[in-house]
Structure 1
Amino acid sequence: MRVGAHVSISSSKATSDSVTPPHENIANAVFRQKEVGGNCGQIFTHSPQVWKHQEITDEDAATFREETEAELDGPWVIHSSYLVNLCTPKDGLREKSIDSMQKEVDAAARLGVEYVNVHLGAHTGAGVEQGLENAASALDELDVPDGVTVLVESDAGSGTKLGGDFEHLATVIEKADLDIDVCLDTAHAFAAGYDLSTAEGVDDTVAAFDDEIGLEHLKCVHLNDSKHECGTNKDEHAHIGEGYIGEDGMNAFVNHPDLAEVPLVLETPNEAEKGFEWDIARVKELREN
């Protein structure tokens, strides 16, 4: 079972009071993943709130690759900046988004990271059809290195954001010349109206994904419970089994036979009293049962 969390690469914070990362570089992510019991996971390569990308030295990249190979099963996923908007009709924002994504796929190649995950973004008035066309053409501007795949992530679907409907993701895959796959976020899908709170609902959602997109495109799952009810379009994550998806839904999802080989990455609340280690252990318990 491949399960892990979105962990920090910063050297300024340790994941416990008594242990500090042994390396002052991006390899901190490997240390943190091991500490919470994960064997795969996700990172930001820089602050997701700014356009500026931090430098990754050759030495840091080599350390990350070596420690990943020695300590983890993989894969790693790089999550793109929150500022990236592939659907935008604004030329300036589009150019910045493409530039940022190019830096991410290049960083992934240097780090030996298999996937770069991105939200489609919002059409901001251009309309759904034009927004999806914009996203596909923006992705086609990228020069993606061999061994790296871009994943488009399912969205909660609030406002003019696209990706809440599986058909949106399928359309971008169809329109783009670039080979693209998908990351399914369970909290986002639930918020967008796909009911994952029961075994029947999980079966229906997996079937809908397969019909619209194809399960062969599902390369990663962001496994999150939801603090809000199905169909509310509200994106706020809860601990595994403690939100509106609940234990029954999470149990059905992690044990679904069509999802057994898909890596699970948690973006659940990482609080002092209950964090990634608790949630990863909970997922493993559910899979065992």
Structure 2
Amino acid sequence: MLNIGTHLSSAKGYLNMGKDALKINANTFQFFTRNPRGFQSKPLNEEDLTGLSDFLREHSFAPIVAHAPYTLNPCSTRPEVCELALQIFQEDLKIMEYLPGNYYNFHPGSHLKQGPEKAAKKIAKLLNQVLTPEQHTIVLLETMAGKGTEVGKTFEELRLILDQIQCQDKVGICFDSCHLSDAGYDLKENLDNVLKEFDQIIGLDRLMAFHLNDSQNPIGSHKDRHALIGEGFLGLDTAVTLINHPVLDGLPFILETPTDLEGHSKEIALLRAQYNLASQS
């Protein structure tokens, strides 16, 4: 089965996100826990969260993904920024406990010329403060394009973080096709080797979600500019190969393409048709 969805707004409430996903034939989705470019969050609504959890179970959704704000930087050079990152993690993981069995994804941050080793130590320190054996959410580190001093542009940088985490079963990785390509990983011509390299360095058992995006820039550009599926340098054939690859089977694929709900509905329909064709051949 193809698990595919898109990024939805929680402005109308959590349960309504599930209903919107169902309308566009999605069986997973992603949402921001708070303002993506800031830190403000809306008041906790236990009834709404429980309603969404019941809805996901009733309609057999694949795991969904909550996304931390882009501005979060747990490896900042400023202590107050690191403290804010810790606070956000604590608050967001509390929200996610009302949606057990799902994922919380975040960008590892920017090391701001400290170097990836020092950054990895800071990120792991934060995760060791918030992760517990009892929690029902897996936290995902996202692969990054390598803009500026972004951490996570290579599998080795992600491994630096993972090696220092105590609750190993509470962390995983989220691939982003645009980010991976922009970072220099050749998904278009050499996908099997990319997956093999990831398996050797981190382990495929750590790969738990996939942001499916085309890229406005060629491989190795370190730009991070998403494009519609089939309208960028990766192309439709790459997206079709990704959703049909046996190693990636069963992962939640999340579209973060620059379009609206109607546009995402069309992308989901296109990819479902391509998935069905491949499974019938």
Q: Give the TM-score range, shorter chain.
A: over 0.9
Query: Does structure 1 residue 185 correspond to structure 2 residue 176?
Result: yes
Q: TM-score, normalised by structure 1?
A: 0.90
Instruction: State the match for 1:276 in structure 2.
Output: 264
Say if 2:112 and 2:149, in contact at 8 Å, map to a contact too: yes
1:174 to 158, 163, 166: 163
Q: TM-score, normalised by structure 2?
A: 0.92
Please tell me the root mean square deviation across aligned C-alpha atoms, in Å. Answer: 1.5
Distance in 1 separating the partners of 2:233 and 2:183: 13
Query: Does structure 1 residue 135 correspond to structure 2 residue 123?
Result: yes
Per-residue CA deviation, residues 46-92 of structure 1 (Å, 9 max, x unaligned), is: 21122222112221122111222223422111100112112223211
Instruction: State the match for 1:216 in structure 2.
Output: 205
Q: CA deviation at 1:143?
A: 4.1
Per-residue CA deviation, residues 190-224 of structure 1 (Å, 9 max, x unaligned), is: 000001123xx111111111111100000000111
Say if 1:30 and 1:71, in contact at 8 Å, map to a contact too: no
Distance in 1 separating the partners of 2:242 and 2:100: 29
Say if 1:153 and 1:183, in contact at 8 Å, map to a contact too: yes
1:52 to 31, 40, 44: 40
Say if 1:187 and 1:237, in contact at 8 Å, map to a contact too: yes
Query: Does structure 1 residue 35 correspond to structure 2 residue 23?
Result: yes
Instruction: State the match for 1:15 in structure 2.
Output: none
Instruction: State the match for 2:196 in structure 1.
Output: 207
Say if 1:140 and 1:177, in contact at 8 Å, map to a contact too: yes
Q: Which amino acid in structure 2 is aligned with residue 183 of structure 1?
A: C
Q: CA deviation at 1:130?
A: 0.6
Distance 1:207-1:143 versus aligned 2 partners, 3 A rule? closer
Say if 1:240 and 1:282, in contact at 8 Å, map to a contact too: no
Distance in 2 separating the partners of 1:113 and 1:266: 20
Q: CA deviation at 1:113?
A: 5.2
1:102 to 90, 109, 128: 90
Distance 1:50-1:113 versus aligned 2 partners, 3 A rule? farther
The SS at the match of 1:275 is: helix
- The total of aligned residue pairs comes to 273
Distance in 1 separating the partners of 2:203 and 2:46: 37
Instruction: State the match for 1:249 in structure 2.
Output: 238
Instruction: State the match for 1:19 in structure 2.
Output: none
Instruction: State the match for 1:10 in structure 2.
Output: 11
Q: Could you list the runs of 5+ residues in structure 1 that have no partner in the other structure?
A: 12-24
Say if 2:101 and 2:138, in contact at 8 Å, map to a contact too: no
The SS at the match of 2:5 is: strand
Structure 1 residue runs of 4+, over 6 Å off? none
Say if 1:61 and 1:111, in contact at 8 Å, map to a contact too: yes
Higher normalized helix content (fraction of residues): 2
The SS at the match of 2:77 is: coil
Say if 2:64 and 2:252, in contact at 8 Å, map to a contact too: no
Identity score, percent: 30
Q: CA deviation at 1:248?
A: 2.4
Q: CA deviation at 1:279?
A: 1.3
Q: Could you list the runs of 5+ residues in structure 2 that have no partner in the other structure?
A: none
Matched ranges for 1:67-146 at <5 A? 67-112=55-100, 114-144=102-132, 145-146=134-135
Q: Which amino acid in structure 2 is aligned with residue 203 of structure 1?
A: D
Distance in 2 separating the partners of 1:170 and 1:285: 36
Distance in 2 separating the partners of 1:187 and 1:281: 21
